[in-house]
Structure 1
Amino acid sequence: MTRLLRLEKGNEDALKGENSEIINGVAYEKPELDEAHKDIVRYLHAASSRYVLTHRPLDKLAMPHDPLVIDSEVLPNTILRPEIAMQIKDESFPAWVVEIASEENMEVAYLEKMNIYMAAGVKEYWVIDPVKQVILSYNFMKNPWIPAIYDSPQRIKVSVYKDYFISYSEIFKDRSEEE
């Protein structure tokens, strides 16, 4: 569901739920994450938290779905809620952002947000498709238009760091049996 909305004083409540975003003044509801999607977010957040604690204590890892306000010069009236947003020490905007794609938000995740994050200064943007078990990794500093595509078990480098790798197998691991 979309509705036109201007972010002005008095309508800060535009982001009512954890799943709402605003792109250029238009409010969008992100699809509700199923358990597989939530497992991916929990794994990535836990792995990234461990990495920051042990290797990069001055970096900041936002909580999943924390609002991320895009500079009005890049795209006015825009607030996104990425699943993962990692900010390097003194930088004012996240260097690495991860979004989970689903059938309902393919165009937004693969096209609109890629362009927004690139224009906003994000260095690396991942789109994870849990159904197809594919990860697209855009390195905006090296080759912004051609993503690295990961669709088989391997270690995936988070390129904004020298020594941070994430396991493809762990991202897509079935955790439903572990409880």
Structure 2
Amino acid sequence: MKVHAPGTLQLPASVLTIGALDGVHKGHQSLVRKAKERASELKVPFVIYTFDPPPKVFFKGSSLLTTLEEKLKRLKILGAEHVIVATFDDAFASKDESVFINDLKTVNPIEIWEGPNFLFGKNRKGDLDALRRHFKVKIFDSMQCEEGVIISSSRIRTLLEIGDYTQAERLLGWRMTIAQSPNSNLTR
């Protein structure tokens, strides 16, 4: 797996998924596996575009579920060939949706696989319809746990905050060792 800065990877074709992927939980894993499967079927590279730190950590000070290093390890295990890591800061957050779309065009996605609530660009003005104007977008439904509740990084953070590590690990799909860091971020 190769790691790239935004705009530095150029491919003639790819299958792409974009997201914070904090925790690389079961829902993320299912989305990544589906996109990887499509890349294999289409015989093109599989690319993941992610952010460090995740937007919720940057904007809201949410706890970090996985360090970038841990996220990259998990994405490699899931079969990512290329991972684009954007530094999420004030400059990145202020980019207009058209700038982000132009960045994606460098990898020429044949398909982009996303969850149903994907938003991007300055003030989150870009949505799936904006993405569809430029690319073929496939929607992967949010994964639910046995109780019928959507698996999300926010839900896992809440479980960790209340000390329900068993349920958090079930939703993550991997064992974690929680070590509270000085900046209140959770790391594996």
Q: TM-score, normalised by structure 1?
A: 0.35
Q: Which has the higher helix share?
A: 2
TM-score after normalising by structure 2: 0.34
